[in-house]
Chain A
Amino acid sequence: MSHQETIGRSAHKINPNKAPIDPSRATPEGKYKHLGIWIFLGSETVLFASLFGTYIALKNSTAGGPTTQDLYGLELVFLMTLLLLTSSLTSVYAIYHMKNNNFKKMQLWMGITGLLGLAFLACEIYEFAHYITDYGFTFRSSAFGSAFYTLVGFHGGHVIFGLSWLIVLMMRNAKRGLDTYNAPKYNTFALYWHFIDVVWVFIFTVVYLMGMVG
């Protein structure tokens, strides 16, 4: 197809004097991506609702194993919540710098977001290991165990996916700078990351806090 010319990066470069208000939505593709991730999150809402429903239905089915009151501790969950909430704020900072067309600061804040996410993940792994070794509470112990690990694990899986996404995104664009081609990708990631945080808000409330209340 010789008559078809490729359009290179030049079409996506941002003119610093005429920077778009929101570079993530300056191109049609950016607009599609923005709506697309929202539609996807709508779908994820029902996905997690199904898991929450399963957990609520099975949380008292301990089959003689450890119960919610035996297991959960406030301190670690509080720490995890702070980590994830803060990572949500740092990704807001990253998008703030994106709108100011400041690529370096955006990468920096995205990096901090990733580190906080990593710390959260470490806490979660520690928590699971603690339950397994100290209580012998596993995936197979009881219906409650299956439901607990599946719900919290699905959230953890989303965190892992988000972190991998972020790493690839940051590496790929490290030397390219911000343009209207990759700005939507950062914005899409930020929205996904906030959603993970929303899900965590419900996990710490419904699973941990309500589990301790009984």
Chain B
Amino acid sequence: MTENTTSNRLDTFRKQENKDEMKIQVISFVSMIAFTIIAFALVGTQLMTGAYLSILLFVLAVVQAMFQFLYFMHLKDKGHGPASALIYGGMIIATTVILSLGVITWW
């Protein structure tokens, strides 16, 4: 009997926990949408131009990607050490690849 109530209590506690987490997910989703709108608005209204705009757009994309990785994909949670090591390792290599192909192909 006691065991049953404990597990039930645990269940409500856990449900609350999941709910709290979901709130954070929705917040990150809203901010991602906001970043997207900012990016499209910057290009659409032509408030800025040239290299600075490109850099800003790229920064916005990186922030959005981090939201996806850390919150939607739970990379911030415990037990994700090896996973993050591999994904960040991949990003380092990816940066090198993109820079080299983008910069030294036409030299």
Contacts and interface: CB of A to CB of B under 8 A. Distances in A.
**Chains A and B touch (C-beta atoms under 8 A apart):** yes
Nearest to A210: B54
A122 interface: no
Nearest to A202: B61
Interface string B37-76: 0011011100001100110011011001100110011000
A42 B89 contact: yes
Interface in A155-173: none
Contacts of B2: none
Given A19-B11, A92-B25, A210 B57 contact: yes
Given A43-B90, A212-B43, A81 B58 contact: no
The main secondary structure of chain A at its interface with chain B is helix
A127 B60 CA distance: 25
B40 A42 contact: no
Contacts of A89: 25-26, 29, 72
Interface in B64-107: 64-65, 68-69, 72-73, 80, 82-83, 86-87, 89-91, 93-95, 97-98, 100-102, 105-106
Interface of A: 17-19, 21, 34-35, 38-39, 41-46, 48-50, 52-54, 56-57, 74, 77-78, 81-82, 85, 88-89, 92-93, 96, 99-100, 191, 194-195, 197-198, 201-202, 204-206, 209-210, 212-213
6 contacts: A41-B90, A46-B93, A52-B98, A53-B102, A74-B44, A96-B18
